[in-house]
Structure 1
């Protein structure tokens, strides 16, 4: 029997971690890997899809930046948004492959929305970057625990 609660918790943590709320999905993924009760591919897919869709929220916020920019809850300061937009203009859509990095990753996903990156391209590149991060984390976890 599939433990949907574990997958739902991982998906939720990964989704929230990519939005304006502080959350660490990596710890939950590592914990589930260490239980050795879940197929690794299913865990990686769940975390990657959740984190990608959470980044999609940032893309939507970027599309509506003029309405949200001055809100206290807005995830990116004007300074970070300006830097992210400059980065995005310089490196283009390929910068989305680094959307997983802890400092600046969220700003890049917001900048992609501001600069009107097409949603399918956005989702594909963000998914690749975020999946790669989770794959590396899983490899490290399995390498350490043998």
Structure 2
């Protein structure tokens, strides 16, 4: 068990930022993954909290951009590559129509965030609006996780 823990610690130290970027990217697609545990582990390992936040935000944002792009291509492409549940897609469309652009601040919420990015693409929302709102939402989420981790680790 100790050898396994040492190997994991070494792996984090050697590839921590790369692992975080890839996991954050994948977590913002339709895959049921989360990156918060790795953020906490890296901060406890002594990684720079601001760098951790920026790497996680960048990976998660770019993953969302991928989902947005597939949304731009239309429902057939979404159904082929991501298979979103139709009821979630319809619910997100109604939510997006009701609350508009600010809905994108909640793309970090598990279960609905990925669908919101799809809907933004389907509705042909200009990328400049999409990118600002999604980046701010993702950054806020990761900043809160990192801040709370650093606060409670001292």
1:59 pairs with one of 48, 61, 68? 68
1:47 pairs with one of 34, 37, 56? 56
Q: Any gaps of 5 or more consecutive residues in structure 1? A: none
What are the Cα deviations for residues 21-49 of structure 1, in whole angstroms up to 9, with x where unaligned? 2222111111101111x221111100001
Contact 2:75 2:122 in 1 (8 A): no
What are the Cα deviations for residues 42-80 of structure 1, in whole angstroms up to 9, with x where unaligned? 111000010011011110121123322443x52521111
Matched, 1:13 2:45: no
The Cα of 1:4 is off from its aligned counterpart by 6.9
What are the Cα deviations for residues 80-118 of structure 1, in whole angstroms up to 9, with x where unaligned? 111111111111111100110112111111100000111
Contact 2:27 2:34 in 1 (8 A): yes
Matched, 1:78 2:93: no
2:123 pairs with one of 92, 115, 126? 115
Distance in 2, matches of 1:24 and 1:103, equals: 11
Matched, 1:89 2:97: yes
Matched, 1:125 2:133: yes
Runs of 4+ with deviation above 3 angstroms: none
May I ask how many residue pairs the two structures share in their alignment?
142
Contact 1:98 1:129 in 2 (8 A): yes
Paired residue for 1:134?
Answer: 142
Contact 1:19 1:75 in 2 (8 A): no
- Rate the CA distance shift 1:75–1:106 in 2: closer, same or farther, 3 A: farther
Give the TM-score normalised by the residue count of structure 1: 0.90
- Rate the CA distance shift 1:75–1:15 in 2: closer, same or farther, 3 A: farther
Give the structure with higher Rg (CA).
Answer: 2
